[in-house]
Amino acid sequence: MILLPEDYLNSEQMTALQGWMIDKEHLQPGKCLGQGQFGKVFLGNLTMKGGGTREVAFKTMKSKSQSE
């Protein structure tokens, strides 16, 4: 799973990644597992569409202005 700021990709790239992106309101970040130049990786919980939660790891990406 990848979380991207809205200004990071153009619309064509966003369309190509739709199957991999999760709306951040469905994620509850927990422990930060690591970070690098482009973002952070968290352990957290994903709220499932049918109810319940699942433990997941996910990556967040910095905005263009933060990574430059």
Convert the pLDDT of each residue in 10-68 to its tens digit. Answer: 778 778 877 777 778 889 999 999 999 888 999 999 999 888 999 999 888 776 655 55
Please tell me the pTM assigned to this model. Answer: 0.64
pLDDT at 13: 76
DSSP 25: G
What residue type is assigned to position 42 of the chain? Answer: F
**Domains in the chain and their CATH numbers?**
2-67 (3.30.200.20)
Q: Is the pLDDT of residue 3 over 70?
A: no
**H runs (alpha helix) in 3-63:** 11-17
Nearest partner of 42 among 53, 31, 51, 54, judged by Cα: 31
